[in-house]
Every structure is written in C-alpha cells, then in structure tokens.
Amino acid sequence: MKPSLRSKLDSLVGRLNDLNGLLASENATRDMEQFKKLSREHSELSNLVALYENYRKAEGDAEAARELDLAEELKNARAAMERLEGELQKALLPKDPNDERNIFLEVRAGAGGDESALFAGEIFRMYARYAERQRWQVEIISESPSELGGYKEVIARIVGQGAYSKLKFESGGHRVQRVPATEAQGRIHTSACTVAVMPEADEVEDVNINPADLRIDTYRASGAGGQHVNKTESAIRITHLPTGLVVECQDERSQHKNRSRAMALMKAKLLAAEQEKRDSEIAKNRKLQVGTGDRSERIRTYNFPQGRVTDHRINLTLYKLGAIMNGDIDELLDALQHEHQAEQLAEEEQRGAA
C-alpha cells in the first residue's frame, strides 16, 4: 500500500475516534441537523475503517506467514490484501453529493412518429417497474399520451433512497430496432426516444431563480381526469425566460400543488443544465465518458428481432431484452457504475503520478 493511502486511512481512523466522542457527548442532540450530519459521516467512516482493519489483519497474517515460511498462507494473505486495497480505493473515491436524492425522470419520443411514442412508453414503464422492484414511489408530473398508447412526453418524480445514484447514467438517446405493429411489409424500423434523469433540488438549497425571470401561466388540464379538470384552470406552465426552459404540471387538481411541483421540476432542470455543462467540460479530458449526461448522445440500442440490448458506452450486450423491458436492469446499471468507478480510479492515479 502506498504511504499516501495509508496516511489518509490513518487520519480517517482518528476522525472516527473524534466522531465517537462527539456523538457520545451530553450535548450531541442539541443541534439535530448537526447530529444527523455527524451520524451520516460516522456511518460512512465505520464501514471504511472496518475495511482498513481487515486489511491490517491480512497484513499481519502475511508477515507471520513470511516469518514462518508458510508459502500457501502467505499467498492467501497477499491476495486478501490486494482485494481489500482495491475495495479501500473505491470506498475513498469522491462521493456525488446528489447520489441519495430523489429524481425527476423525463422520457420524450424522438424521430419515428407513433412507433417512437410507443417505445417512449415502454422505456418509461421499464423504469417504473424497476422503481417498483426497489419499493420506490413514482409520481406522474406531466404526460402527453400518443393516440396509439405511448407517450410523446412523460415526466415523473421518483422518490426513493439512492434513486439518483442508481439511474444517473440513463440520460441520453435510447434507440429501438424492430418491426412496428403498423408495418405491413414486415420491415425493421429504427426509432428513438431521449431520457433525462435530474436530481431533485433540496427545498433549502439556493437555486438562484429571479421571480422576474419566470412567466407563470394557468390553463385547463387536458386528457383524463373527469369533469373537474375541464372546469378549472388548475394546470400550471412555468417558463424560465433567460433559458427558454418550460415545465408543466397538470396531474393534481389543486393549482397550488401543481405550482409547487412545477417549481421543483424547474429547479431540477436548471441544476441539471449547470451539471451537464460541468460534466461536458470534465468529459473533454476523459477517454471514457460514461457519465457525460449528454441527452443527444446515443447510449443504448434495444434490438427486438435479436432479443438483445447493447450499451454503446461500455460495449456491453445482453441477450435478455424481455427481462430488461420488464424492469430487470440491475446488470446494466451495475456495469455502468463499475465503469464509472474505474474512470475515477484512473483519474486519481493520474493525479497521484503528476
């Protein structure tokens, strides 16, 4: 283990001891916000220090085996040290501050007309079913259904711990190749939809929105909802004039609730735009670009005739299209997460070598 890594881990052991004292003090719960913050830090460091203790135990085992000339035991101890050092390096990687947040998921039909809208509907259901598997809550914010049963656009809020960390690499262009139900000749068509995953802003977070920069319109909600929605102008449309961003919410009967949800979505979109700009700057210096968040980038192809799904960023192809469309996307998400961690480790090594 490099001296710099060992020194960092030793300092974190000291910090954990400090936290133990702070959390055990009589005044620990006087400031509950600070108490929660320290408790989260304690939880994260406890796991890290436990890993480090396992590493030091394996290190001791290796030293004992070397002194006693026990070749097999020495080999096993060194293998354990190598594995644990890799886990420690991953655990020390910078954390994304948005990882634990809820998200706004936006799926929009692209080129391909009705077939594209049908595909957008299937992609949205794929994420909704995945959310159900995670026991997350899915709330429709706005929807524009197509005549044949898909969506021209649908936006949902997904509430669940770690939602952003799981789905943040899903932003981009999703392409489908199949014979549409409306195709009489049996020819394979290609169509697409775009996905955007945006972390929800904290209520207390300062997203600089000048009220003078907003135009807020009310209108009558369209589509299903009974007679009530046709009689009152409960739907809300907010336009951010400097950027031209527009959000709508018509799911609730209450104009106040729709306004609140639309404003939350606007904040998330503005934050996402800032983040996308930062990520694209970082991506210029990267060879691998798993997490650019560029919505115009084609990230994945769903080929129905061959039953396969290919993620183009990591050259991963899975022949389990049916299961994936039913929300079984853990293998894809885990592979993207591992690739991202590999990128981060490579960047850390470059910095260390500089």
Alpha carbon distances (Å) from 7 to 4, 91, 222, 260, 346: 5, 15, 62, 48, 20
Q: Are strands 137-145 and 214-219 parallel, antiparallel or unpaired?
A: unpaired
The residue among 352, 353, 340, 346 whose CA lies nearest residue 95 is: 340
Entry pTM: 0.71
Quick one: pLDDT at residue 174? 95
Quick one: pLDDT at residue 224? 47
Residue with tokens 């509950």: 32
Quick one: pLDDT at residue 203? 61
CB burial class (10 A; 0-12, 13-18, 19+) of residue 5?
A: middle
Quick one: pLDDT at residue 7? 87
Point out which residues pair with 107 in neighbouring strands: 154, 195
Quick one: pLDDT at residue 244? 85
Q: How many CB atoms lie within 10 A of CB 87?
A: 14
Give Dmax (Cα) for the chain: 87
- Spell out the domains of the chain, with CATH numbers in brackets: 3-91 (1.20.58.410), 103-341 (3.30.70.1660)
Quick one: pLDDT at residue 225? 43
**Chain center to CA of 68:** 50
Six-digit token string for 90: 């991953």
Quick one: pLDDT at residue 335? 93
Q: Mean pLDDT of successive 10-residue segments in the chain (354 residues)?
A: 85 92 87 85 89 94 93 94 89 83 92 87 96 94 86 92 92 91 78 91 68 84 48 77 85 77 85 74 52 66 96 95 96 92 79 63
Quick one: pLDDT at residue 98? 84
pLDDT above 90 covers what percent of the chain?
42
